[in-house]
Structure 1
């Protein structure tokens, strides 16, 4: 683990379990918050909002809400930005801007939950990355969990179905790479790099870059005052937009970056798969996107994979888990 990340003293088995449990609660809450973003943004995009406008508003509002954490960190550490600008810039370009740009582009070509499931191939990518980096094979439980999760992913994507979209799949895989960066960078958070300051800096960076892209015309900007239908109810545009920016994005990133240092990047990435199941529910309720039975079966297999990986982490001696990606 990076030297900048504060270690968590383990005086007895009980404190370790308490820290791990708090991290799991934060990770699941983050996944629940994130899962509502797609089902709430998709109707806006279909009603005439451009992707650039939706992402700019989303990142900008969330970044401003979390900005006090960044200002506090800068006040306590005069050299904060000089020391951590690379991590903050990387977080803003990949886990924030890149992930959202790829995911929402994919979401416009396929159901929300399917795009999410492809995106969450990231945990398996992380397992493979650690294997290659350390030349140490993962435990049998991790390998079984990864294999079961991949099998579930194949069922959910339903590659043999008429709805298969190659471009959408490639975009979602691009989002998966950005999700890997999210867990790797978040694992560096600690006392020296407060998680909320990292999230705020990344969101504001993403918003600034998106604003530039919109100003120069690379990303179209269109935000008409439209009404959208959610769950059979017509609501003005600001209802889903405010929810996504002020609740889903703010809580998703804030709780997510707080969870990863507590439970480790590998476990956090597999727990993040629960976002897909939450998104299935949101898309079913608000967009009437009902998954096929084979996709329900795939979701169940993904959950089994998460349980297997979690069971392996529970036997570890450290609450961060043995899946740390950084030295």
Structure 2
């Protein structure tokens, strides 16, 4: 599925943010029941990839050359966009507050603006700068001003690595598909990323524990697999396909700004399903994020992340460099 209009791309991007935003409300009961973050993430990624696999095979129609041409793009997505982002985020929250780690990771849109500024040597349009200010202000209000505090420098470094991984995800997702459907791209990246996460868990490099009892959710007791399946299908399979589709249509910068709505949806689902309080300041923060998105959209994409930089992601040399870092 390829989307040509900006309005349709925005709609799909919002769907992706909404889907990603459900993850916290459904993952939290698993973590509270004794699941390690690695186990929960590995399960959601593997199941999400397997759910997409049949649709991906149909979309390929035997055109395996399309997948082969995009092999380095898939590898970068799996290693950087899926594995590194998740691993470094959970490494960060071992020593710094979750709110702080989340705030830093979600500054990925500002990183893209900065890189585009540095590589094109053109100052971003005023609307982009205004939108960035609005978006950051909105993030602070939704996540909580307490996210800004003195923290452990190692945890801070891990959070910044997660931010780089998140930004890389949007850059890779926005690359022209060259015949590979978003479903096939998402499925291959998730399956490969899930296998790598599982290998890290099995070898003991990351903790891999799980429990299998009933869990409380929205006031009722449900089997452990219900929230896991919801996270895998909605927050992973649908979310990644929507995010990749939107990034191709909107470009990495605008798609990354729309993705900030994830924190707004996460707060809403936590209120609806977990009974967590929804503060007026969070609603104001959501409005500021919307204002930031509108400003960035109005600015256009003349200073978008340069295509010449994106082309490096599919070169064998770049792929070899990424693999060497592992």
- With the length of structure 2 as denominator, give the TM-score of the two structures: 0.82
Instruction: Report the alpha carbon displacement of residue 264 of structure 1 after superposing the two structures with TM.
Output: 1.2
Q: Which residue of 2 aligns with 1:133?
A: 119
Distance 1:51 1:156 in 2: 23
**More displaced 10-residue stretch of structure 1: 63-72 or 81-90:** 63-72
Q: Which residue of 2 aligns with 1:147?
A: 133
User: CA, structure 1 residues 115+280, in 2 after alignment: closer, same or farther (shift >3 Å)?
Assistant: farther
Q: Which residue of 1 aligns with 2:199?
A: 212
Q: Which residue of 2 aligns with 1:202?
A: 189
Superimposed CA distance per residue, residues 239-287 of structure 1 (whole angstroms, 9 cap, x where no aligned partner): 1101001222110001111111111111111111111110110112223
Superimposed CA distance per residue, residues 25-81 of structure 1 (whole angstroms, 9 cap, x where no aligned partner): 111101111101122112211211122221221111111121235435665434344
The residue correspondences of 1:1-327 to structure 2 (distance < 5 A) are: 19-72=5-58, 76-104=62-90, 110=97, 116-160=102-146, 171-290=158-277, 292-313=279-300, 323-327=304-308
User: CA, structure 1 residues 310+81, in 2 after alignment: closer, same or farther (shift >3 Å)?
Assistant: closer
User: CA, structure 1 residues 39+171, in 2 after alignment: closer, same or farther (shift >3 Å)?
Assistant: farther
Task: Kindly indicate whether the alpha-carbon contact (under 8 Å) linking 2:103 and 2:147 is maintained by their aligned counterparts in 1.
Answer: no
Q: Which residue of 2 aligns with 1:3?
A: none
What SS does the aligned partner of 1:79 have? helix
Distance 1:128 1:81 in 2: 31
Q: Which residue of 1 aligns with 2:315?
A: none
Superimposed CA distance per residue, residues 292-315 of structure 1 (whole angstroms, 9 cap, x where no aligned partner): 5544443332222112112223xx
User: CA, structure 1 residues 198+271, in 2 after alignment: closer, same or farther (shift >3 Å)?
Assistant: same
Task: Kindly indicate whether the alpha-carbon contact (under 8 Å) linking 1:189 and 1:257 is maintained by their aligned counterparts in 2.
Answer: no
Superimposed CA distance per residue, residues 186-227 of structure 1 (whole angstroms, 9 cap, x where no aligned partner): 111424332221111110111110121122111222221122
**CA RMSD after TM alignment:** 2.9
- Count of paired positions: 305
Distance 1:311 1:117 in 2: 25
Structure 1: 5+ residue stretches without partners: 1-5, 9-15
Instruction: Report the alpha carbon displacement of residue 119 of structure 1 after superposing the two structures with TM.
Output: 2.5
Distance 1:92 1:32 in 2: 22
User: CA, structure 1 residues 223+158, in 2 after alignment: closer, same or farther (shift >3 Å)?
Assistant: closer
Task: Kindly indicate whether the alpha-carbon contact (under 8 Å) linking 2:60 and 2:181 is maintained by their aligned counterparts in 1.
Answer: no
User: CA, structure 1 residues 157+277, in 2 after alignment: closer, same or farther (shift >3 Å)?
Assistant: closer
